[in-house]
């Protein structure tokens, strides 16, 4: 188990075992670890062996993990719309590398 088991910062509440969606591509997965790098940045490792910055992930219900690929775009658009409405995206830096291409 890592030194960090949960992230609770800036309205981001992610913990090991949660199901999340990466907002940029719609990739979904289960959180298997949360790590801090040498520079103090926090990364979330999913069951697809890719690491993501936590502010680019949204917790979803487990049943959404099996939705059809066509539905993923709708989920991502809905999340983006909610975020824009609350102006949460206006402050975010989307320049972080995440390992996903």
Tens-place pLDDT, residues 46-97 = 998 999 999 999 998 876 565 555 566 777 777 777 777 766 555 555 555 5
pTM for this model (two decimals): 0.56
Backbone angles phi, psi at 94, to 5 degrees: -90, 15
Q: Which two tokens stand for residue 4?
A: 């960090």
Q: Is the pLDDT of residue 1 over 50?
A: no
Write out the H or E segment, with its range, that includes residue 46.
strand 42-46
Q: List CB contacts of 64: < 8 A, sequence separation 6 or more.
A: 19, 21, 28, 75
CATH 2.40.30 for domain 6-91 = no
pLDDT of residue 45: 94
State pLDDT tens for residues 85-96: 766 555 555 555
State pLDDT tens for residues 10-46: 556 899 999 999 988 888 899 999 999 999 999 999 9
Q: Where do the domains of the chain lie?
A: 6-91
């Amino acid at each position: 188990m890592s030194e960090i088991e949960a992230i609770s910062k800036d309205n981001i509440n992610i913990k090991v075992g949660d199901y999340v969606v990466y907002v940029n591509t719609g990739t979904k997965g289960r959180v298997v670890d949360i790590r801090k790098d040498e520079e103090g940045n926090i990364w979330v490792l999913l069951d697809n062996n890719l690491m993501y910055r936590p502010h680019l992930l949204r917790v979803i219900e487990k049943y959404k993990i099996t939705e059809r690929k066509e539905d993923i775009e709708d989920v991502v658009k809905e999340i983006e719309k909610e975020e824009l409405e609350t102006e949460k995206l206006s402050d975010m830096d989307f320049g972080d590398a995440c390992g996903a291409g």
